[in-house]
Copies of this chain bind each other. A is one copy, B any other.
């Protein structure tokens, strides 16, 4: 079973100029694939901050996705940050450099080669713009259309185990059902029980989610909660 972390890189997100689409989209996709997303770090375009985030996330998860900072401009420092975090030098990838020259033709400038200066040991997956993978760090572009397309190319490499989920809608206050939920959480430790009040709904209610990779525990917990809470299935 694979675990994942995401590093969303970009001053534009932290300054509110752009709303990050990639983190929320990745959360949904990883869930569907049965990969547990354990952290999302949203950080500025700074080499040392990226390096620290890479060290933290590679220690937490099997697979780390980065979003953004892979273009040719001065604020694109993801490759440098990942290299520093992994303790490897930046080396020019000759195949990538040639592909950039071929693709750009007359538009070619030396700045374009920044996209061929990769952390040592980086493996390129896929065609066109590749997915860059170095020691479990999967480096993806920040533009959502490309982020999604490149993730889709990489996704078959992930070994997920889907989580099964049930939900219960309960017309009660959280304070009156808290002890029941806690008892279920203690009785079925393999089951993750979430409680989400909808104060603003009419009438107000609570959505209880019951998730597990163990089908038997899931059904037991779900049925017990329905009975205790007086909710019909």
Q: Which residues of A contact B (CB under 8 A)?
A: 11-20, 23-24, 27-32, 36-44, 71-75, 104, 107-109, 111-112, 114, 143, 145-146, 163, 173-179, 181-182, 185, 192-197, 199-200, 209, 211
Q: Which residue of B lies closest to A186 (CB)?
A: B74
B12 touches A194 (CB 8 A): yes
Copies held by the complex: 2
**Chain B residues with Cβ under 8 A from A42's Cβ?**
23, 39-42
B31 touches A197 (CB 8 A): no
Q: Which residue of B lies closest to A45 (CB)?
A: B194
B176 touches A109 (CB 8 A): yes
Nearest 10 A/B pairs, CB to CB: A16-B28, A111-B178, A16-B27, A40-B42, A74-B182, A112-B175, A73-B195, A16-B31, A19-B24, A72-B178
On whether A193 and B75 interact (CB within 8 A), knowing A27-B13, A109-B176, the answer reads yes
**Chain B residues with Cβ under 8 A from A44's Cβ?**
38
A38 touches B17 (CB 8 A): no
B75 touches A195 (CB 8 A): yes
B179 touches A71 (CB 8 A): no
Shortest distance in angstroms between A220's beta carbon and chain B's nearest beta carbon? Answer: 18
> Which of B18, B73, B177, B197 sits near A178, CB closer than 8 Å?
B73
